[in-house]
Amino acid sequence: MFKRIVPNDGEMVTLKVEDQPVTVPAGDSVAAAVYAAGFNHFRESSISNRPRAPYCMMGVCFECLVEIDGSPNHQACMTTVRDGMSIRIQKGLRGVES
């Protein structure tokens, strides 16, 4: 379904999505990494707990919110992967961090 359009220089990073290791090209977005790990939804809505997935992939819709290293509400499409990152599917309503 998805095809890489910009080749990378070969540098790879390894991170975890729901404790599942995945290795992706450096420079990829977290959204690309979550898809590469085989997940088809990134969060569950705060009202109905229905699965949600990225829509715009450019920082507008906020459908791609995930938890990164224990911190909620990160836009997966606007965040670049880094080695050792831990990503979790966001479930339900999250608070606002100060």
Work out whether 77 is an interface residue with ligand FES (CB under 6 A). yes
Residue carrying structure tokens 């829509």: 55
Site string for ligand FES, 44-73 (x = CB under 6 A): ----------xxxx-xxxxxx---------
User: At residue 45, what is the residue type?
Assistant: S
- What is the size of the binding site for ligand FES (CB under 6 A)? 12
Whole-angstrom Cα Rg for the chain: 13
Beta-carbon contacts of 63 under 8 Å, excluding residues fewer than 6 positions away, are 42, 43, 52, 53, 54, 55, 56
Least gap, CB of 55 to ligand FES (angstroms): 5
Chain contacts with ligand FES (rule: CB under 6 A): 54-57, 59-64, 75, 77
